[in-house]
Structure 1
Amino acid sequence: MGPDLLARLSRFAARDQRPGAGDRPHRPELWAFIAHDCERLAEVRIERTALIAVLEGVKELTDASGTTRNFPAGTAMLLPPGWCGSVVNDPGSAGRYRALVLEFPAEMVRRLLRAHGTEGLTQRARPGDWHVTLTPALTDAIHHAADGLTADPPLPAKLAEHRCMEVLLALLEDGVWWLGPVAPTGTADAVRQLLRTRPDTAWTADAVADALNLSTGTLRRRLSGEGCSVRSILVEERVAHARDLLEREGLSVQEAAEACGYANRSHFARRIRTAVGVNPSDLRDR
């Protein structure tokens, strides 16, 4: 990234603004990390898709396999949910470390992948590194999103999210396919990744097994060993998708039911009440 592009993003990292402990809200957020002394952070786990642009100094990542990679000023990385490792933020010769972090909630990433395709996401291995090229187009999208997230007075939530979706689209356009979770850690995880991208499909154990190149018997044995089933995972993913559609996108109950694969609205309502304790209409009105 050239000095002009770097300067455009630097104004959003004028002071240290890091997330506190606890759950993140269901919206994209912008953070700035600044350090004047070398920071070493052990056992870091990424919970939400995070795009990190290093503005000064060097970020060093060591993943669970022990592989270490360095990201100097002007470079960026996209860390998916589930990444674990240690981090070093080194001011180096610059005398100051600065980085801009844009976090995306899982619901937003799920909407992107559902709308623009997920072919190959669960079949590919982990990337050799997490490097992202800060092209002018991507930098423009990040700048537009950051400007929206820091606007005073604040932008309407949907408009700010639309700007952040532009960043995800730019990443996907540039071939950054690992926006979703890292490679599955078990059969249940693989099933979740498959079902959450197509929650409206009438999934059966046979269809899931075929998609994962397993026999139905093997699939059921493995899921049983992990304490779940195709049916239970499908219900979980459909409920999560329904909450997103009702709470965030404002769809009607009937529209949400159909998008989640329920032809019967009453059946859909019972599922929601059982899972979250309220009616679908109550979620929509929040």
Structure 2
Amino acid sequence: MITDLLASLSRFADRDLRPGAEERPHRPELWSFVAHDRECWGEVRIERTTLVTVLEGVKEIADGSGVTRRFPAGTAMLLPPGWTGPVVNEPGGGRYRALVLEFPPGMVRRLLRAHGSDWLAPRPRPSDWRVPLTPVLIDAIHHAAAGLAAEPPLSPTLAEHRCMEVLLALLEDGVWWLGPLTPAGTAEAVRQLIRTHPERRWTACSVAGALNLSTGTLRRRLSEDGVSVRRLLAEERVAHARDLLEREGVSVQEAAMACGYANRSHFARRIRALAGLNPSAMRNG
């Protein structure tokens, strides 16, 4: 059954359609990698949550652990933002083929906000980036790929919904490293915490408690980074508001409430101060 399901993905990887070096759009993307010769990439950096399904040949990756991982045909890996390491694509039977799904940060944040924040608990790095290719996950990948490759194109909302099914299937299978693995310092840990619930009335005390720090230690560490809880809260709320207004098309009032602002005027002032735009301009931009 798994073999048949994997074969159904082959039509999306019949030729090489890998991305260039340009900036990735704020939407999920589907790529196919096809190579007839061995490829060695000295240092690859993953900027967005990336699911790779190997259809032919073998992919080898190695990161800071110094261990090389081999992913033959019929296996998959989930690489989180910030992953770096050398990559080798080895043809098997004449070629290497892989299907790649990239998920933008905003989509991953929305999933994690909606389905709990257990992922924030301290965890070790995964010993292997492999994810189980269950029938449910393969079916979700196929559904998402068909949507992203559809002609005429699906609406962005519907295409995103299909891709969200893939993330949900991964999360339910215990793949917790969908977002950045570990916060790079206290400021980033605070940002990640706020992203899970930007509507909450976060204070230095409540943030410190959630991060198992004293309020004094939290303030000292943030001060060393030149930021404060108030500043980080405002920045993350504005980022969330931009995502809601530009990509989800909610009303200004709905965006204000989702970001913890009961007063629409106060919300608009915050947006203007930090983003230089009125909320209505974001929504209509």
The two structures share one fold, judged by TM-score above 0.5: yes
State how far apart, in whole Å, the 1-side matches of 2:242 and 2:189 are.
22
Aligned residues of 2:12 and 2:145 also touching (Cα < 8 A):
yes
CA contact (8 A) 1:122 1:183 kept: no
Structure 1 counterpart of 2:276: 277
Distance 2:190 2:127 in 1: 24
- Which ranges of structure 1 fall in alignment gaps of 5 or more residues? none
Equivalent in the alignment of 2:237: 238
State whether structure 2 residue 108 is matched by structure 1 residue 109: yes
Residues 122-148 of structure 1, C-alpha deviations (whole Å, 9 max, x = no match): 422222211111111110110011001
* Runs of 4+ off more than 3 Å: none
TM-score of the superposition, structure 1-length normalised?
A: 0.96
Cα deviation for residue 187 of structure 1 reads 1.1
Q: Give the AA of the match of 1:29.
A: E
- Contact 1:209–1:215 (8 Å) recurs in 2: yes
Between stretches 219-228 and 199-208, larger displacement belongs to 219-228
Q: Which residue in the other structure is 2:180 paired with?
A: 181
Identify the residue that residue 66 of structure 1 maps to in structure 2.
66
Structure 2 residue matching 1:266: 3-state secondary structure:
helix
Is the contact made by 1:122 and 1:190 (CA closer than 8 Å) also made in structure 2? no
Return the alpha-carbon distance in structure 2 between the equivalents of residues 9 and 256 of structure 1.
38
Counterpart of 1:77 in structure 2 is: 77
Partner Cα separation in structure 2 for residue 243 and residue 3 of structure 1: 42
Letter in 1 for 2:120: L
The residue type equivalent to 1:62 in the other structure is A
Shift of 1:95: 2.2
Q: Is the 8 A contact 2:2 2:134 kept in 1?
A: no
> Residue 150 of structure 1 aligns with which residue?
149
> 1:130 is matched with which residue?
129
Could you tell me the TM-score, scaled by structure 2's length?
0.96
Which residue type is aligned with residue 80 of structure 2? P
Maintained 8 Å contact 1:33/1:98: yes
Q: Give the Å deviation of 1:3.
A: 2.4
Output the amino acid matched with 2:246. E
Kindly provide the CA deviation profile for residues 200-256 of structure 1, in whole angstroms up to 9, marking residues without a partner as x: 111111111111111112112222222322122111111111011111111111111
In 2, the alpha carbon distance for the partners of 1:67 and 1:277 equals 47
Distance 1:245 1:122 in 2: 26
**Distance in 1 between the 2:165 and 2:73 partners?**
23
Q: Does residue 17 of structure 1 match 2:17?
A: yes
1:65 CA displacement: 2.9
For the aligned residue pairs, the C-alpha RMSD in angstroms reads 1.3
The equivalent residue for 1:263 is 262
Residues 27-48 of structure 1 deviation map (CA, whole Å, 9 limit, x = unaligned): 0000011111111112211111
Percent of paired sites with the same residue: 74
Give the conservation status (yes or no) of the 8 Å contact 2:256–2:262: yes
2:201 maps to amino acid: A
Distance of 1:43 and 1:264 partners within structure 2: 48
* CA deviation after TM superposition for structure 1 residue 183, in Å: 1.3
Match in the other structure for 1:37: 37
Provide the rounded CA distance (Å) in 1 between the counterparts of 2:23 and 2:121: 26
Instruction: List runs of 5+ in structure 2 lacking aligned partners.
Output: none
| Helix, strand or coil at the partner of 1:94 | coil
For 2:129 and 2:241, locate their aligned partners in 1 and report how far apart those are by CA, in whole Å: 31
In the TM superposition, residue 58 of structure 1 has moved relative to its aligned partner by: 0.8
Instruction: Say how many residue pairs are matched.
Output: 285
Is 2:125 aligned against 1:87? no
Q: Deviations over 1:77-127 (max 9, x none)?
A: 111111111111111x42211110000111111111111112243422222
Higher mean C-alpha displacement, 177-186 vs 70-79: 177-186
Q: Indicate conservation of the 8 Å contact 2:2/2:135, yes or no.
A: no
